A and B are shown apart, each in its own frame.
Chain A
Amino acid sequence: MSHVRKQLVYEKIAHTFLGLAAALTAAPVIIIIVFLLVKGSAALTPEFLTGMPREGMKSGGIFPAILGTFYLVIGTVLFSVPVGTLAAIYLTEYAKQGRLTRTIRLAIANMAGVPSVVYGLFGLGLFVLFLKMGTSLLAGSLTLGILVLPVVITAAEEALLAVPQSFRQASLALGATRWQTTRKVVLPNSISGIITGTVLAIGRAAGETAAIMFTVAAFFLPALPSSPFSQAMALPYHLYTVSTQVPGMPEAIKWGTALVLLLLVLLFTLTAALVRARFRRKKRW
């Protein structure tokens, strides 16, 4: 009997430690979010969001950084969503499953693991210098577009695979071609997966720093970007500069920038989670 009791005591102790691990994991998240909300919200004024930086960025707003990130995100989506969706269509609708698709999936898994600073070097080598785009919104968007491709492809592929095979067979039996079937039957039924991927990609691109440091981001620009070949400021890089590169920067500006960036990224991550959950609930087949 005492043996059993000893085991039960062991179980109590073990479960306490496991609970402690979970608490130690979750507590910092809550602390960080609360700190950002409390300290950052003090800086969030309309002027901060819509004004230009002044006095060596030590006062004024962060509008150019917000706008730059907005442009970058649009460029990223314009590249990654069509290419990523077509890549997923290839994997699920067109390709014969075999060595090539296995290699493609391995490449996608590895792309997801390449450090973002390496994407930055790649973008610098290929887009900025080799293709002579210069440090520009275009070069930065393409670099980010490549970086988020695995996210888009994975989400789209999951959605395409969820469309029942019978839908395709019905369409093909009516004499539709493969592309007609894909476009009129498969894609409309997987649109929410593609939206999920797009929104996740936006969140990732909006928060990415290392990949844009050498391809687009500028420390400070007096004017707003005027074309895809302009340099631009961007929120994540702005947070990096105001918190490490400028001595005597007021705390409020740092916390405010961090909070705006966090809210922007979490907004997209949350939207993606909601779209996905809604889609899973509403599936009719």
Chain B
Amino acid sequence: MVKVNKFQKFREALIGKLILLCGVTSIAVMALIFLFLFRDAFSLFGHYSPIDFLTGQNWYPISSPPVFGILPLILGSLLVTLIAVVIAVPLGIGTAIYIAEVAPAWLRESLKPIIEIVAGIPSVVLGFIGLILLAPWIQKLFSLNTGLTALTGGIMLAFMALPTIISIAEDAINAVPLSYREGSLAMGATGWQTTRRVVVPAAMSGISAAVMLGIGRAIGETMVVLMVTGNAAVMPTALDSALHPVRTLTGTIAQEMGETVFQSPHYYALFAIGLTLFLITFAVNWVADAVLYRYRESE
């Protein structure tokens, strides 16, 4: 009945194509990121062994010949992330349980926006706060030469990872059916016994996904670690490494890319670090996504 003229048909087809193109942009972007990082990283691996790159203990990018061993940077990233996890996981899960199971409604409604504000603070502002408030305090507390340490970075990263951990863990806890709780309470269990033995185990996969995503955020965070960890590329293997400056993968890229000559070995080495970082965060997020997906499927 309705006349669809040729122009309209053509327009529909054209718009359909455009929409499809935008639809697959995300796939194209991920592929392009990988391609561009891989291409430039490969320029380094042509004459620098990837094994030496990953396991070398020295990062001397501007000596001659340059030495590009990123093991201290990987360990630096891991140390700062580990500190962040040790702080953020108990605090985050505790807060999520408190909000979901314990807090009265008025407190819950005021805690949630306060925590959401953190997710909105730009990382460079948190870096600034870490630099100007936390670092002097850490320096005094442990009587150190400098307050710019792995611990300072770890504390700030923990703070940044908290909103992610709390919101996903809280969703997981809220998703536990009410009947589970009622069943447990009806058996005479206290509220805490119910939380610990029934609710938390039932929400476990969601909580672990929350932790994984928090870790992913912490490893990839740049400005905070660049500003507060002191950026010393040394192996953080001593027992008190947490109280000394370290350098991370992200911090190295941010610090040195501005000073390097484009398409020099140093430039390619920084892209190789970028590729390493991309693959690490990709793996972490992929695992988190798989856990979340399986968990949603099973419901």
Contact = CB atoms under 8 A, between A and B. Distances in A.
Interface of A: 7-8, 10-11, 14-15, 17-22, 24-26, 28-30, 32-33, 35-36, 82-84, 86-87, 89-91, 93-95, 100, 103-104, 106-111, 113-122, 124-126, 129-130, 146, 149-150, 153, 175, 177-179, 203, 206-210, 213-214, 236-237, 239-240, 243-244, 254, 258, 261-262, 265-266, 269, 273
Interface stretch (B56-64, B68-76, B94-102, B139-147): B94-102
Contact of B94 (A22, A116, A179, A258): A22
Contacts of A21: 90-91, 94-95, 98
Majority secondary structure of chain B interface residues (helix, strand, loop or mixed):
helix
A94 B23 contact: yes
A22, A28, A29, A90: residue with the most chain B Cβ atoms closer than 10 Å: A22
A125 B32 CA distance: 10
B121 A210 contact: no
Given A179-B16, A265-B121, A18 B254 contact: no
A265 B190 contact: no
Contacts of B1: 175
A210 B192 contact: no
B98 A18 contact: yes
Contacts of B271: 121, 125
B111 interface: yes
B201 interface: no
A121 B274 CA distance: 7
5 contacts: A26-B114, A114-B278, A115-B250, A210-B250, A262-B122
A84 to B, nearest CB: 8
B33 A118 contact: yes
A209 to B, nearest CB: 4
Interface residues of B, number: 90
Nearest to B213: A113
A109 B37 contact: no
B37, B98, B270: residue with the most chain A Cβ atoms closer than 10 Å: B98
B262 A107 contact: no
A87 B257 contact: no
A103 B27 contact: yes
A117 B254 contact: yes
B136 interface: no
B125 A104 contact: no
A7 B184 CA distance: 14
A193 to B, nearest CB: 17
B131 A115 contact: no
B98 A19 contact: yes
Interface stretch (B44-52, B219-227, B234-242): B219-227
B184 to A, nearest CB: 13
Given A35-B129, A118-B37, A125-B271, A240 B124 contact: yes
A126 to B, nearest CB: 6
B24 A210 contact: no
A209 B250 CA distance: 12
